[in-house]
Amino acid sequence: MDNYQIADSFSLLAKLMDIHGENSFKAKSYASAAFTIEKLPLQLSSLASEKIAELKGIGSSSAQKIIELLKTGHLKTLEEIIFKTPPGVLEMLNIKGIGPKKISTIWKEMEIETVGELLYACKENRLKLYKGFGEKTQQNVIDTIEFYFKNKGSHLYAQVILVAAQVESFLAKIFPGRKIAVTGSFKQQTEIINELEFVIDANLDGIETAMTEVEGFSFKEKNADHIIYNTSVGIAVKLYGSAPDNFIEKLLATSASETFFAALKTLCVGSAENIKTEEAYFEKAGVNYVPAYLREDENLLLQAKTGLLPQIIQPEDIKGIIHSHSNWSDGSNTIEEMALAAMERGLEYLVISDHSKSAFYAQGLSEEKIREQHHYIDELNKKLFPFKIFKSIESDILNDGNLDYSNDVLATFDLVIASIHSNLKMTEEKAMMRLLKAIENKYTTILGHMTGRLLLSRPGYPVDHKKIIDACATNHVVIELNAHPSRLDIDWRHIPYALQKNVLISIDPDAHHTDGLDDTRYGVSVAQKAMVTKENNLSSFNLQAFEAYINKRKSIKNI
């Protein structure tokens, strides 16, 4: 059990205690412990039991519960309180905008026990009749629940990578000697996965018989060419049957848009039986191979037929980490630890971009702290040479569109990432005013997470993507593809227009701890869908090219 799982257990315990009106002091201590655990630079599982209680911010009661979790994988106190909580009340914790205290009122005073009942009550204007629930809160709850229901059963791509491998391995044991391959949206590297799909070279009746009473799988529905199962891990699994000699064609049909596959099949003259690989199928069709993540637009086949596709970016093309945080603001690790972790990954540079002063919730840096940090980075660069740490800041874009420091302070950074973090509920007009003003600020090097979205949790504020991209082109501003799996913002569907306008993309992990450096792979996976190459991604520039780029830009901007 890792730190995040332990922190989640403590956080849930604290919230449920608040819902049940139990000891508020204990609830706060567990919530505090959850925060501390999440920020720890080392895994609790690596510590001896007696060392856990010595950790700052971990009391004796919390330490005992951590040890219980590590030894048993369970927490009796949490299981007991979950048992006496209606499932629908527990589900309400997924609804942003209503915390434990409000959920307690909804349950105990309004006698509402499900999210569906809550939505109905809101639409009947019942919620605003209770203390602490105004009309605005009621509407926010309606919007959030509707968004939640729309995405229920969906999962982030990053969340199902391990599950997909486990399910494929499990299926291989159930169907020994059969060909099995993952397909569908997961194979296409779609950012949201609603179900895991597999092709098996067996008929559907045989699949259904083999899956009968398999632990962890429950039958949901059967169609002409597939069966869907619900699973104990929370994601549906769709199994396609296929004749052995038609396996590759079935795999292609289920890992491409209908129009793409229809066009490909038309080109594949003659029988496609007994073709052994996807590459061989494309060769028979007289077309250069198109990977699954690009099998959307059938027009791409014309490009693949007349010439090679561009060399699409690969994870190993990332040469440096741009947009990372340290424990100077809300990161878990020191700058040196972040740098060493980047070096271990074979990277050439690290851009430290802690939060700016207005981000008080993230311990944003004052002007004095910036001076101290810059001196510290200078010393580290001497120590870690030839690896280089660049001085940056993730500057809040303020409500009026200005950046968070005076020009004199902004000029001291090697580069500035400008992002919106506050007042997210705004009209398109307001959002565009803030963004365009920030883009036009000569100190803005990179526009961070363009829409502020959190996949499956929060829709982004409304923006005109083309106008933003046009402004970035005019002002020589790079657009971040924030690689955090919950963001993946800018949406990859808008990247082709940015490339058309010669705007650089920057795949950045927004890392708050050393493990977060690896999130670049999720950014790469969606960048591939937009046909990004290493030449048009800033974080693929080697140290020399990256340094030359930011120096040239500062010169052009007269900074």
Residues, the chain: 559
Give the Cα separation of 532 and 479 in Å (integer): 13
How does residue 39 score in pLDDT terms, banded at 50, 70 and 90? confident
One-letter amino acid of 466: K
Q: Which two tokens stand for residue 160?
A: 């199902």
At residue 502 the predicted structure's pLDDT band, cuts being 50, 70 and 90, is: very high
Q: Residue 384, exposed/middle/buried by CB under 10 A (0-12, 13-18, 19+)?
A: middle
Strand order in the sheet with 320-324: 320-324, 349-355, 388-396, 415-419, 446-447, 478-482, 505-508
Three-state SS annotation for 112-177: CCCHHHHHHHHHCCCHHHCCCCCHHHHHHHHHHHHHHHHHCCCEEHHHHHHHHHHHHHHHHHHCCC
Quote helix, strand, coil % in the chain, to nearest 5.
50, 15, 35
Q: What is the pLDDT of residues 411-430, one digit of tens each?
A: 999 999 999 999 998 999 99
Which strand (E) or helix (H) includes residue 201? none
Confidence of residue 332 (pLDDT cuts 50, 70, 90): confident
Tokens of 159: 């969340």
Of the candidates 241, 112, 270, which has an alpha carbon nearest to the alpha carbon of residue 181? 241
What token pair was written down for 473? 């082109």
Residue 325 has pLDDT above 90, yes or no: yes
User: Which fold does the domain 3-151 belong to in CATH?
Assistant: DNA polymerase; domain 1 (1.10.150)
Per residue in 173-200, pLDDT tens?
Answer: 999 999 999 999 999 999 999 999 999 9
What order do you get walking across the sheet with 236-241 strand by strand? 180-183, 195-200, 236-241, 226-231, 217-222
Neighbours of 547 (CB within 10 A): 17
Where exactly are the structural domains of the chain?
Answer: 3-151, 153-255, 256-309, 315-556
Q: Which two tokens stand for residue 453?
A: 């979205």
* CATH, range 153-255: 3.30.460.10
**Topology adopted by domain 315-556:** TIM Barrel (3.20.20)
Over 80: is that where the pLDDT of 9 sits? yes
Strand, helix or coil at 326?
A: coil
Q: Supply 305's token pair.
A: 């037929």
CA 224, CA 240: separation in Å to the nearest integer? 9
Please tell me the least confidently modeled range out of 123-127, 170-174, 344-348. Answer: 123-127
Smallest Cα–Cα separation from 342: which of 525, 524, 513, 483?
A: 513
Check whether 125 has a pLDDT greater than 80. Answer: no
Which distant-in-sequence residues (6+ apart) come within 8 Å of 437 by Cβ? 397, 400, 401, 402
According to the model, what pLDDT value does residue 232 have? 85
Which two tokens mark 522?
């999720």
Q: Average pLDDT for residues 276-297, to the nearest whole number?
A: 95
CB neighbours of 439 closer than 8 A, spacing ≥ 6?
A: 418, 447, 468, 471, 472, 475, 477
Q: Is the pTM of this model over 0.85?
A: no
